[in-house]
């Protein structure tokens, strides 16, 4: 029996504060002005994309004790910008990354419920667990949560938030002027939650929103992160946009669902993906090489290397050979506030491989960093890209992609105008929104208020 053709899900990531963004390009616009967000969102909606996605950072990043100044710095408040965008779009989902450490469930629940009301059911929440004390210095709560507690708090935070959202039923607001009855029952919104993280009770004060709850995204990659997603999330924002890694990740996460009584269709896997479109494949390759050099300046390359070496490498020439000193394996202090700084399992070994490779291929520091710090997920003509995306999805390397253009806000236009029509021609991407809510457009099962309450408990 042949597998039915899968429908592809596509979303747009407003470029954030990292070196995938090419701010030095003359076409690069504001990362803060509302006009940029509006143009980007309306382009995504023109392409019938599922949703717009925003990352989060709550402390300016530092390197060597100073504010990191080589990438885009600064972003607006996630909730505020999504509420504003709900006014200038009709169908596009609005997904915000909101962490579970520097917030409280009552506040987050009422903000997502409000966003869902204002957008007519288009809110989504990417639950992240960033926990470092460095970021905590900006908050009352302070910030240190031991690593083994952050997913515990995230899990309980999410459960608590859903319990608050489920404390109102669909028909609790009667608003019958004739009879004088506004609420259906005196205890609408009542909740109580007592666990290791939260000891709260009372009445939630936003009535049930169109989706009942936001669509839930998860982004963590660790075993706990994957388990958390399998148990709780509607979609995963993953790093694994490459075919083989994507298939492995996909198989792993989807196989975890049964344990939680969920079907494979209940959780979408959506990797972040960058792209460079050209008139021909060769043209695109050339452009991609130019973009990579724009993304990795000499100074950026040194900074990147410092994150692995965990030491000051500012004396090195980016056009010269790799440092022959070994990484400092002590406490990682060189770069702070970066979600992307992974604890490299064995930095000494990593440095050794990189040195060998650079020597063998005659690569400078900058060349090497361009080679290893990631590449574009899709490079080619619009046709090539459409075929590759379709292949990834049909072969279960993903259920679609969250597109990260490198130019703000215009970088999505080419994809929408050139690639989307080809996917529509293939019959693997919608020609119009199928539902009113994001949940419907994502093809996720809808939850009645009773099911919602049952799942939260």
Partner 1 sequence: MSTSSTTHLALALDGTGWHPGSWRDPSARADELFTARYWTDLVLLAERGTLDLVTIEDGLALQADDGLHHDPRTDRVRGRLDAVHVANHVGALTSRIGLVPLAITTHTEPFHISKAIATLDYVTSGRAGVQVRIGGRRDESAHFGRRELGDWSDLDADGQRSFANALFDETDDYVEVLRRLWDSWEDNAEIRDAATGRFVDRDRLHYIDFEGEHFSVRGPSITPRPPQGQPVVAALGHDERPWQLIGTSADVGFVTPKDDAAEALPTIRAAQQRAGREDDVRVLGDVLVVLDEDATRAAERLAHLNDLAGSPLESDALIYVGGVPGLADLIESWSAAGLSGARLRPAVNTVDLPHIVDGLVPELRRRGLFRSAYDGRTLRDHLGLARPANRYAA
Ligand X SMILES: Cc1cc2nc3c(=O)[nH]c(=O)nc-3n(C[C@H](O)[C@H](O)[C@H](O)COP(=O)(O)O)c2cc1C
Q: Which residues bind ligand X (CB under 6 A)?
A: 55-56, 97, 99, 128-130, 219-222, 224-225, 237-239, 272, 339
Task: Tell the smallest beta-carbon distance from residue 253 to ligand X (Å).
Answer: 12
Residues 6+ apart with CB under 8 A from 352: none
Pairing relationship of beta strands 275-278 and 93-99 according to DSSP bridges: unpaired
Strand 181-183 and strand 215-218: the pairing is: unpaired
Report the distance separating Cα 313 and Cα 41, nearest Å.
40
Tell whether residue 151 is among the known ligand binding residues. Answer: yes
Contact 190, 167 (CB under 8 A): yes
Q: Which residues from 40-99 bind partner 1, rule CB under 8 A? A: 57-60, 66-67, 69-77, 79-81, 83-88
* Chosen residue from 90, 137, 279, 425 binding partner 1 by CB under 8 A: 137
Give Cβ neighbours of residue 171 (< 8 Å, ≥ 6 apart): 184
Q: Pick the stretch among 102-110, 247-255, 285-293, 377-385 that binds partner 1 (CB under 8 A).
A: 102-110
Question: What is the smallest separation between the CB atom of 394 and partner 1, expressed in angstroms?
Answer: 39
Q: Which does 272 bind (CB under 5 to 8 A by kind): partner 1, ligand X, none?
A: ligand X
State which of positions 380-409 bind partner 1 (CB under 8 A).
Answer: none
Closest CA to 152 of 97, 98, 101: 101
**221 or 328: whose CB is closer to ligand X?**
221
Q: Answer with the entry of ligand X, partner 1, none that 388 interacts with (C-beta below 5 to 8 A by kind).
A: none
Task: Please report, as residue ranges, which positions from 209 to 238 form the binding site for partner 1 (by CB under 8 A).
Answer: 209
* Choices 184-192, 273-281, 380-388, 404-412 (CB under 8 A): range interacting with partner 1: 184-192
Q: Cα separations (Å) of 255 from 4, 249, 251, 285, 367?
A: 19, 10, 6, 36, 39
User: Would you state the structure tokens that stand for residue 432, as one six-digit string?
Assistant: 């119009």
- Any binding-site annotation on 106? no
Under 8 Å between Cβ of 354 and 322: yes
**Prior bond of 234 cis (ω within 30°):** no
- Least Å distance, CB 97 to ligand X, is 4
* Closer residue to partner 1, CB minimum distance, 210 or 443: 210
300 is in an annotated binding site: no
Q: Which residues does the annotation place in the binding site for FMN?
A: 97, 151, 222
């Amino acid at each position: 029996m042949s597998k039915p053709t899968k429908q592809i899900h596509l979303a747009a990531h407003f470029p954030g504060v990292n070196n995938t963004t090419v701010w030095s390009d003359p076409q690069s616009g504001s990362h803060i002005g509302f006009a940029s967000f509006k143009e980007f969102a309306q382009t995504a909606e023109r392409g019938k994309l599922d949703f717009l996605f925003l990352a989060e950072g709550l402390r300016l990043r530092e390197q060597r004790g100073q504010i990191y100044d080589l990438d885009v710095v600064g972003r607006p408040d996630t909730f505020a910008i999504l509420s504003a965008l709900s006014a200038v779009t009709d169908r596009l989902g609005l997904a915000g990354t909101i962490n579970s450490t520097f917030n409280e469930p009552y506040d987050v629940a009422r903000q997502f419920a409000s966003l869902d009301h204002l957008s007519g059911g288009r809110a989504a929440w990417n639950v992240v667990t960033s926990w470092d004390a460095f970021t905590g210095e900006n908050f009352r709560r302070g910030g240190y949560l031991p690593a083994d507690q952050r997913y515990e708090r995230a899990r309980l935070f999410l459960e608590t938030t859903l319990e608050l959202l489920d404390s109102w039923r669909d028909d609790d607001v009667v608003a019958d002027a004739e009879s004088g009855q506004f609420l259906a029952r005196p205890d609408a919104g009542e909740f109580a939650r007592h666990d290791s993280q939260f000891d709260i009770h009372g009445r939630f004060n936003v009535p049930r929103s169109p989706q009942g709850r936001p669509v839930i995204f998860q982004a963590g990659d660790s075993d706990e992160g994957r388990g958390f997603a399998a148990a709780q999330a509607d979609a995963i924002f993953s790093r694994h946009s490459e075919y083989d890694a994507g298939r492995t990740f996909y198989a792993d996460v989807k196989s975890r669902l049964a344990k939680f009584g969920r079907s494979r269709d209940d959780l979408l896997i959506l990797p972040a993906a960058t792209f460079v479109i050209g008139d021909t494949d060769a043209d695109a390759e050339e452009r991609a090489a130019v973009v990579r050099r724009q993304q990795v300046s000499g100074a950026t390359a040194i900074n990147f290397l410092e994150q692995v070496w965990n030491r000051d490498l500012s004396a090195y020439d980016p056009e010269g050979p790799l440092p022959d000193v070994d990484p400092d394996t002590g406490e990682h202090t060189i770069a702070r506030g970066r979600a992307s700084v992974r604890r490299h399992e064995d930095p000494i070994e990593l440095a050794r491989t990189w040195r060998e490779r650079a020597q063998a291929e005659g690569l400078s520091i900058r060349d090497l960093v361009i080679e290893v710090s990631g590449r574009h997920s899709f490079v080619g003509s619009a046709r090539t890209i459409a075929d590759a995306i379709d292949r990834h999805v049909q072969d279960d390397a993903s259920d679609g992609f969250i597109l990260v253009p490198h130019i703000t806000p215009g970088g999505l236009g080419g994809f929408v105008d050139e690639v989307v029509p080809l996917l529509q021609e293939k019959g693997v991407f919608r020609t119009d929104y199928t539902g009113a809510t994001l949940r419907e457009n994502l093809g996720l099962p809808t939850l009645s208020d009773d099911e919602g309450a049952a799942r939260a408990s």
